[in-house]
């Protein structure tokens, strides 16, 4: 997957059509859509083409449990368009191919993972709208942010890594503590794989990091999120990033890719955004290292 080219005019038309819609009107599924169901999916591919000779996969997974529907609404109305347009204009990676997905809770949800194909054009919106906002989640103090790590490590194939040894990107987004891990029966039930033993979050993360740069974005800046930052810092180091304003999600993702690719300094990244956006980004990236070779131990990014 990944053919075609993104159209700004088509996106503008779509954005106008959804401007007054609620999340439930945009996302109308009442169960998991067959095209997004990871069960027994052999592979999701990000491939080079004549149009996109240097593809780079960028996967964005958002928490759709409980009160997180507002984030899905913001993604559909703004973030997809901004993400495509800024990646194409700034070119921290040459030919971005986007995947979107949803995260729930393997303990309590029917669909704790939903996964689109990789796309280089507006077809990603069609898949995004097929996401089911299940809206549940369990009372177990965390969601399954590690299930996309396992899936991406074992069920994706990318020319970016296989041809050029260039890692893609995974961004998980939510407001809960680090996950509890994956049991053998949960992996079998939701993905269809037979694994020998349960997986800790550290194990799933290590598997994903072989092929992808993995970030987690903690949405909000309240006392509860302050209490969970340390756990994410212990797991991901500086790649656990706090975002105060969820409407700046796309801008933060682009900024993190720019910094990781080493194409700009932090000051240059901040200065490249205007007004309130530059202030939000400055707070979120202040402790991020430039370039992918080193991750500091100075702590999770705070606001």
Query: Residue 14 — pLDDT band, cuts 50, 70, 90?
Result: confident
Half-sphere exposure of 104 (CA within 13 A, CB side): 24
Question: Nearest to residue 212, comparing CAs of 173, 165, 147?
Answer: 165
Q: Which residue has the higher pLDDT, 210 or 15?
A: 210
CB under 8 A, 24+ apart: contacts of 89-93? 90/254, 90/258, 90/272, 92/254, 92/257, 92/258, 92/260, 92/261, 92/263, 93/54, 93/56, 93/58, 93/257, 93/261
179 contacts 232 by C-beta, under 8 angstroms = no
- Indicate the pTM of the whole model: 0.92
Tell me the CATH architecture of domain 8-285: 3-Layer(aba) Sandwich (3.40)
Is residue 42's pLDDT more than 70? Answer: yes
Instruction: Report the greatest alpha carbon distance in the chain.
Output: 51
- Distance, CA of 229 to CA of 233 (rounded, Å): 6
In the chain, alpha helices (H): 8-18, 23-26, 69-74, 80-90, 123-129, 147-154, 159-164, 184-190, 201-209, 223-236, 249-260, 266-271, 275-285
Terminal Cα distance for the chain, rounded = 38
Is the four-CA dihedral 261, 264, 267, 273 of positive or negative sign?
negative
What per-residue confidence (pLDDT) applies to 6?
Answer: 83
Is residue 285's pLDDT more than 90? Answer: yes
Question: Nearest to residue 247, comparing CAs of 87, 78, 84?
Answer: 78
Tens of pLDDT, residue by residue over 202-217, are 999 999 999 999 999 9
Query: Residue 302 — pLDDT band, cuts 50, 70, 90?
Result: very low
What number of other Cβ atoms are within 10 A of residue 75's Cβ?
24
Least confident of 17-26, 31-40, 94-103, 143-152: 17-26
Domain coordinates in residue numbering, the chain: 8-285
Tens of pLDDT, residue by residue over 214-249, are 999 999 865 455 678 889 999 999 999 999 999 999
User: What does pLDDT average to over the chain?
Assistant: 90
- Distance, CA of 186 to CA of 190 (rounded, Å): 6
Tens of pLDDT, residue by residue over 139-196, are 556 799 999 999 999 999 999 999 999 999 999 999 999 999 999 999 999 999 999 9
């Amino acid at each position: 997957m990944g053919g075609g080219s993104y159209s700004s005019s088509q996106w503008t038309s779509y954005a106008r059509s959804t401007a007054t819609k609620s999340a439930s009107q945009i996302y109308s599924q009442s169960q998991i859509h067959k095209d997004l169901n990871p069960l027994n999916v052999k592979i999701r591919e990000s491939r080079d083409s004549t149009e996109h000779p240097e593809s780079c996969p960028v996967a964005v997974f958002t928490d759709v449990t409980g009160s997180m529907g507002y984030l899905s609404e913001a993604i559909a109305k703004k973030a997809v368009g901004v993400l495509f347009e800024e990646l194409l204009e700034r070119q921290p990676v040459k030919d971005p191919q986007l995947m979107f997905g949803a995260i729930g809770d393997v303990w309590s949800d029917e669909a704790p993972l939903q996964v689109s194909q990789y796309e280089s054009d507006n077809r990603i919106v069609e898949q995004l709208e097929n996401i089911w906002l299940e809206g549940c989640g369990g009372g177990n103090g965390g969601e399954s942010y590690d299930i996309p790590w396992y899936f991406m490590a074992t069920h994706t194939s990318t020319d970016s890594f296989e041809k050029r040894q260039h890692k893609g990107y995974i961004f998980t987004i939510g407001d809960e503590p680090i996950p509890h891990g994956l049991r053998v029966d949960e992996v079998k039930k939701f993905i269809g794989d037979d694994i020998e033993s349960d997986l800790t979050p550290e194990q799933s993360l290590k598997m994903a990091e072989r092929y992808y740069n993995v970030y987690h974005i903690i949405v909000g800046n309240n006392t509860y999120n302050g209490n969970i930052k340390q756990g994410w810092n212990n797991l991901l180091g500086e790649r656990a990033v706090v975002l105060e304003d969820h409407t700046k999600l796309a801008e933060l993702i682009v900024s993190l890719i720019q910094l990781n690719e080493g194409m700009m300094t932090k000051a240059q990244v901040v200065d490249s955004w205007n007004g309130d956006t530059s202030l939000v980004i400055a707070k979120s990236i202040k402790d991020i290292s430039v370039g992918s070779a080193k991750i500091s131990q100075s702590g999770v990014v705070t606001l």
